[in-house]
A and B are shown apart, each in its own frame.
Chain A
Amino acid sequence: MKTLLHVHGLTKEYGKEKALDQVTFSLNKNTATALIGPNGAGKTTALSMLAGLLKQTSGTVVIGADLKGDIRREIGFLPQYPQFYSWLTALEFTEMVAKLSGLDGKNAKSQAERTLDFVGLTDAKNKKTGTFSGGMKQRLGLAQAIVHKPGLLLLDEPVSALDPMGRREIMNLLKELQEHTTILYSTHILNDAEEMTDQLLFLRKGQLVEQGSLREVRDKYANPLFKILFVNTEEAAKFVEMSPWPARQENEVVLIHLEENKPGMNEVLQVLAKSNLQLSKVERASATLEEIFLQVVNKHE
């Protein structure tokens, strides 16, 4: 796979504070990368630097050889809270930024129309953006980021401000875009990251603490486990006491981590049968990204 972007030792200092500390990663062409981390981890700082809005204190950003000329032409950026000139209509704005990104007059207009159709703003394209709702602004924000068909799309929390319906729609649009665009997006909603990602970057306090594909990270952190759901917490607590394997209780659920595939399902069921405890479900599962995220963060605490 071709590398589109290589970031090496990217650091941003504000006085003594390090907002970003020696971050190194690469993005392959036409892949989606999720930048995840708690608030204040440096996600926005990292994206702003790649978008050219902030200057790094040190470190290098190398953009792939197939992006020539002014690289800002090849970048689309969606800020977390996109703000628009309230007196311009959606179409006027999109057309303007398309021209600023180098599209010529005619092209800019038709491309702006097409992009607004794509993000679902066909009916609102001649309305002033000052009247737009949060969801519409997010769509227009996406439209302005993709109108010039950039090679690299940088999205800061593209869906976190949306309701579940809007989130679904935007995620579907992003998946469509991802087929011919390299996407780097930040999120703290891990379900979204799970859905569209070739690479995960975990940021914590400005440091890149873990990276890899979803599968790699899962293999590393999320040993498969048994989830046993009891009818109440007392029953669960009793089981933790008698369990022959190390077990962890979360309310009515008891988790047993597997090590080298031990114990097997049969052994667990036998123990449970003998215990006479009231339970409602036993399943073998792998950890969700959320659980991995907590593990990654805790590990570096």
Chain B
Amino acid sequence: MNNFSILFRKEWRENVRNFKILWIPLVFILFGISEPLTYYYLPQILNAVGNVPSDMVFQLPEYTPDQIIMSTIGQYQFIGMLIVAFGFAGIIARERKNGTATMLYVRPISYTGYVFSKLAIMGILIIGSACIGLLANVYYTNVLYGAVDAVAFIGFLGTYSIWLLFAICVVICSSAAFSTGIASVVSILLLVVVQLVDSLLGTYWTISPWKLPMYAGQILNGNLDKTPFFWSLTVTVVVVVLLVVLAVYLAKRNVSKAKI
């Protein structure tokens, strides 16, 4: 771990200089505030756009604050996951492929420190951006739809962050294992496709990392099913630890694949 801070500084400089530190939070905030706005003003927008027969009345359901927040999570679960998978699939694989990593790998670096530097920068960028975005989201929801319980929101935010940590570890581990292209496909499969499958067929089981966002929503609306939530959380944390260990092992093993 002794090289963590040196390597983290490199990651930080990269993501400041390629503007990821700006655009990722901006995108998450944008979705965070446009979601409640769009729902709230949708009837007026439709009316303003016109072409609607005057006798036709839009019967939009009345939304509760937690439904608006969960609808934002729906956006994050798709667009956010695409950003995580495509924006970071090369986090280890790319520097191995283009040969820049060779000059790190010949030095006495700790691969644990190496993987953790990647984990830390992704955590800051992804979890940080999602949290800022959801805070903006809860502010707008509060103004337009009414109050959200603060304690429930913190529980929701924490749970969703654990899911994001899982997503980050999936991407880092695939990047340690495969080339950038394969890593992005594997990440999309595991984060978007499996998520879809889990939501379609998932009534048959209750314990899964992919269900954490759903349980986060339950925390928010106060109908949490405690036992499956607890087990899903435990399973996710265990999988996260395993993925990190695996990523360290694979990063080290694939040193020989670095372009020399």
Contact = CB atoms under 8 A, between A and B. Distances in A.
Query: Do any CB atoms of chain A lie under 8 A from CB atoms of chain B in the complex?
Result: yes
B103 A102 contact: no
Interface in A83-105: 83-85, 87-88, 92, 96-97, 99-102
Interface in B81-98: 95, 98
A85 B7 CA distance: 12
Interface residues of B, number: 26
A73 B106 CA distance: 9
A100 B104 contact: yes
Given A88-B13, A100-B6, A75 B106 contact: yes
Contact of B13 (A54, A81, A87, A99): A87
Given A54-B256, A100-B109, A101-B107, A85 B14 contact: yes
Nearest to A154: B106
Contacts of B255: 53
A88 B255 CA distance: 22
Given A85-B10, A87-B13, A100-B3, A156 B260 contact: yes
B6 A96 contact: yes
Central interface residue in B6, B102, B106, by most chain A CB within 10 Å? B106
A70 B13 contact: no
Given A53-B260, A72-B108, A79 B13 contact: no
Given A53-B105, A70-B108, A83 B99 contact: yes
Given A80-B260, A81-B99, A83-B98, A52 B106 contact: yes
Interface in A33-75: 44, 48, 51-55, 70, 72-73, 75
B258 interface: yes
A144 interface: yes
**Chain A binding surface SS class:** loop
Contacts of B98: 83
B51 interface: no
A156 B102 CA distance: 13
B153 to A, nearest CB: 37
B18 interface: yes
Contacts of A212: none
A87 B17 CA distance: 7
Interface string A229-262: 0000000000000000000000000000000000
Contacts of A75: 106
A96 B100 CA distance: 13
Interface in B62-83: none
Given A80-B260, A87-B17, A53 B102 contact: yes
A44 B256 CA distance: 13
B14 A48 contact: no
A77 interface: yes
Contact of A48 (B7, B95, B260): B260
Given A48-B260, A72-B106, A83-B259, 18 more contacts: A52-B106, A53-B105, A72-B108, A77-B103, A82-B99, A82-B103, A83-B102, A85-B10, A85-B14, A85-B95, A87-B13, A92-B13, A96-B6, A97-B107, A100-B7, A100-B109, A101-B107, A156-B260
14 contacts: A53-B260, A72-B106, A77-B102, A82-B99, A85-B14, A87-B13, A88-B10, A96-B9, A96-B10, A99-B6, A100-B108, A100-B109, A101-B107, A144-B103
